[in-house]
Amino acid sequence: MKVLNTIWLTCLAVCLLVLCACNRSDANQQLKQTVPIRFALAQMPLNLDPRYATDAASERVNRLIYQSLVDFDATSNPVPKLATWLMVSPREYHFSLKQPLANFHHHKPLTAYDVKATYDSIITLKDSPQTSEYSNISSIQVKNETLVIFQLKQPDTHFASKLIIGILPKDDIEKKHDFTHHPIGSGPLAFEHWQNKLALKRVRDGQLILFTEVKDPTVRVLKLLRGETDLLQGDLQPELVSYLQTKPDITVKTVAGVNFSYLGLNMQDPLLRQRKVRMAIAHAIDRQSIIDKVMLKSTRAAGAILPPEHYTNAGVALPAYAYNPGLSKQLLLEAGVQLPLKLVYKTSTDAQRVRLATILQAQMAKAGMNLEIRSLDWGTFFEEVKKGNFQLFGLTWVGIKTPDIYAKAFGSQQFPPNGFNRGHYADAELDAMLLAEDWPAVTARIQAQLPYIPLWYEAQFAAFDKNITNYAPKPDGNWDDLATIKRSATISNHAH
């Protein structure tokens, strides 16, 4: 009897221990999810309504709050997200929503009626920057809850890849809900609140993610080191990224980027109209030395807007123009230019942009060019670029996936405000190639004619606390991994 009692007591003790351990594990898991993951941003999103958002931060957050019909794979081919599609003709597309239907964060199912309402509202909005993108839509018909038909005015074989706007709920569109500040989507993160900080909650497990704005890069780094933030991505000088890489408590991940940096040229300028002058500028820049010394290591020299891995390039990288100041000078003399060639370069006041401009100035001086730098605040600078009030400017194309960028940026019918041909480049031969969608010929022509001077595809990085896992930067700088990010270890007190 005594032995039996001892066995019973031992079993009971073991059960209690197991229960306690389970409870502790559950509690720890719960704690991990209730303690927010804090993401420090250089700039907060400005607009959480995907019909209006234009800034990078808003678009990146909106990708997490909303879902679109279509997304892109690693080679930038359009792939189904909410819906599969059938191109009945270049003027008619059928989109079938995937089963089971996705749910909005207010628990209503996302149906074909919501798709129609979203795109109908974009077409009719007068103040949306997206409206012109969808002006080719003639009508949208709903056949049933899962099938929606888009009829186009003009044939467009790339129409499917344009349907990347997050879908909004029909009833809330009709009620003129304020999506800008209180978004309702169907994405992996749901909106919680937005006072000073933007709080999103992961639908799957309730993990809270807090976005805070910390403008100064040094302060962002210090906050990460002190445990006052868990994650930061982009907008840091490469030296600070290297500094973070030396810290044992911080994980830094980098990835080759796809965002294309370039020098824009004004083709109405009598000097820059000459191809030899443009070639001279292209040969005057030592891209590799700039990449090696003042950029992240995974940055790549660029030959075209779309990166080598893009499906239109089939993995073939166009070579960047080689650095050859002697050849530059010779080309300028052949073009009949009196040295030094005086050029005005406009850029924003961003410190890294001014730094790069100063390096360009020094490199181009060796090639007989006298570059005057004018750094303007972002609003003024972008207005000047849009108005064509420049000789040279430096900008970056962010998140470009479709080859129709070539038509928008270089088509002779695409001068602002219709398109983005801000340098007023007109080339009948290129127009014919664009019409034929002969992308290899288009990229080769652009590289030869140089309406842009290609610079590089800037690498992306993310730096986070060592307790953070399941996060990696994306080539276009998106924050998609916030849908899967986790805390791996027990939460320490000092950090929170």
Residue 297 beta carbon to another protein: minimum distance, rounded to whole angstroms: 14
List Cα–Cα distances, 301 to 148, 282, 318, 401, in angstroms. 42, 12, 10, 18
Contacts of 267 (CB under 8 A, 6+ apart): 273, 423, 424, 425, 426, 451
Q: Applying CB under 8 A, does 492 fall inside the site for another protein?
A: no
Residue 370 beta carbon to another protein: minimum distance, rounded to whole angstroms: 12
Q: Which two tokens stand for residue 442?
A: 């288009």
Q: Rounded to an integer, what distance in angstroms lies between the CA atom of residue 95 and that of residue 69?
A: 8
Q: Rounded to an integer, what distance in angstroms lies between the CA atom of residue 311 and that of residue 290?
A: 28
Identity of the residue, 37 or 221, whose beta carbon is nearer to another protein in the bound complex:
221
Q: Applying CB under 8 A, does 294 fall inside the site for another protein?
A: yes
- Amino acid in the structure at residue 233: Q
Q: Identify the residue among 101, 208, 255, 359 touching another protein (CB under 8 A).
A: 359
What SS3 class is residue 466? coil
Identity of the residue, 317 or 373, whose beta carbon is nearer to another protein in the bound complex:
373
Q: Total residues contacting another protein (rule CB under 8 A)?
A: 25
Q: Applying CB under 8 A, does 218 fall inside the site for another protein?
A: yes
Q: Rounded to an integer, what distance in angstroms lies between the CA atom of residue 37 and that of residue 199?
A: 10
Closest CA to 453 of 398, 410, 406, 394: 394
Q: Applying CB under 8 A, does 351 fall inside the site for another protein?
A: yes
x/- map, 124-153, another protein, by CB under 8 A: ------------------------------
x/- map, 239-258, another protein, by CB under 8 A: xx-xx---------------
Q: Rounded to an integer, what distance in angstroms lies between the CA atom of residue 187 and that of residue 332?
A: 54
What SS3 class is residue 461? strand
Closest CA to 367 of 278, 293, 484, 307: 278
What SS3 class is residue 204? coil
Residue 358 beta carbon to another protein: minimum distance, rounded to whole angstroms: 5
Identity of the residue, 356 or 433, whose beta carbon is nearer to another protein in the bound complex:
356
Q: Applying CB under 8 A, does 288 fall inside the site for another protein?
A: no
Residue 220 beta carbon to another protein: minimum distance, rounded to whole angstroms: 11
Q: Rounded to an integer, what distance in angstroms lies between the CA atom of residue 456 and that of residue 391?
A: 20
β-pair partners for 262: 395, 454
- Which range in 352-360, 414-422, 454-462, 483-491 contacts another protein by CB under 8 A? 352-360
- Amino acid in the structure at residue 225: L
Residue 393 beta carbon to another protein: minimum distance, rounded to whole angstroms: 16
Q: Identify the residue among 237, 396, 412, 478 touching another protein (CB under 8 A).
A: 237
Q: Which of residues 369-388 bind another protein (CB under 8 A)?
A: 373, 375
Which residues of the shown chain bind another protein in the complex (CB under 8 A)? 217-218, 221-222, 237, 239-240, 242-243, 289-290, 292-294, 349, 351, 354-355, 357-359, 361-362, 373, 375
